Amino acid sequence: MQGKRVLLGVTGGIAAYKIPYLVRSLIQLGAEVRCVLTPAAKDFVSPMVLATLSGNEVYSEFWNKETGVWTNHVELGLWADVMLVAPATANTISKMA
């Protein structure tokens, strides 16, 4: 994982509380991690915790309501070597299908 860029999509399943452990493990393996949270994921894991562990801003909205700055989701897709969606709930998988 050394030097890989991982875009981590966190969904609103109960297993989302374990995502900080996943982020920490990816960082220890040498990956750079950026996180995108669904609104429901924020009920299970704090964006501040993920921002602290990853060292990057956590995205959960299309634009920052305080500053009005747009989140360039296309840039995130181009930045990443791989995207991981976790936890991959049945609801999320059905929406992706």
Mean confidence (pLDDT) of the chain: 92
Q: Quote the percentage of the chain above a pLDDT of 70.
A: 100
Is the pLDDT confidence value at 82 over 90?
Answer: yes
Q: Residue 38: which pLDDT band, with cuts at 50, 70 and 90? A: very high
Give residue-wise pLDDT tens across range 2-28: 999 999 999 999 999 999 999 999 999
Residue 1 has a pLDDT of 84
Question: What average pLDDT does this structure show over 21-36?
Answer: 97
Question: What average pLDDT does this structure show over 75-79?
Answer: 91
C-beta of residue 71 within 8 angstroms of C-beta of residue 59? yes
**Separation between Cα atoms, residue 58 and residue 50, nearest integer Å:** 7
